Amino acid sequence: MMTFGFFKQFAISIGVSLVILILCLMPSPELEIELPMTNFDKLVHFGMFAVLAAAVFYDNSRRLKQRVCRTSLWLGSVAYPMLMGGVIELMQEYMTASRNGDWMDFLFDNVGIVFAAICIVLINRRIK
């Protein structure tokens, strides 16, 4: 049984996850403005999932304090966002009328996650 403590420990990750879920499942607006680049949504997916991976890493490392179990830390910080990205694309394809699942979005989700992981490693090396 999950307790309130779980939600408190992972408040940032849960909040970012919910925002991403809502943004990805709400009906997409028809934009009348000209965007500066094609496939702008791929950049948005990259950014959203980079932020999610960083949030999960932060919550995990804060929860584990100084006793960081690297496997748990990285599995949670990388696997969870990747799984969420895949599930969202499936939900868009099969559970919404106004959205379509796009595996290129999933690819950019994962590129954002890997980018965040690399940045985290570099920042950690710099701090130590």
Answer whether 25's CB lies under 8 Å from 88's CB: yes
Report if residue 80 sits inside a domain: yes
Report if residue 20 sits inside a domain: no
Report if residue 30 sits inside a domain: no
Rounded to whole angstroms, the Cα distance separating 47 from 6 reads 26
Please state the domain count of the chain: 1
Report if residue 98 sits inside a domain: yes
pLDDT at 9 over 60: yes
Q: What percent of the chain has pLDDT over 90?
A: 48
Report if residue 34 sits inside a domain: no
Q: pTM to 2 decimals?
A: 0.84
> Which amino acid makes up residue 118?
I
**Start-to-end Cα distance in the chain:** 37
Span 27-79, pLDDT tens digits: 876 655 565 656 888 999 999 999 999 999 888 877 666 555 677 777 778 99
Report if residue 107 sits inside a domain: yes
Give the per-residue pLDDT at 44: 93
Rg of the Cα trace of the chain? 16
Q: How many residues does the chain have?
A: 128
Report if residue 2 sits inside a domain: no
- Helices and strands per DSSP (H, E), number in the chain: 6, 0
Which range of residues forms the domain containing residue 112? 40-127
Give the per-residue pLDDT at 46: 97
pLDDT at 100 over 70: yes
Report if residue 61 sits inside a domain: yes
pLDDT at 126 over 90: no
Closest CA to 16 of 28, 5, 4, 24: 24
- Residue 14 or 30, more confident: 14
Give the per-residue pLDDT at 47: 96
The answer for residues whose C-beta is within 8 angstroms of residue 20's C-beta and 6 or more apart is 48, 49, 52, 84, 88
> Which amino acid makes up residue 55?
A
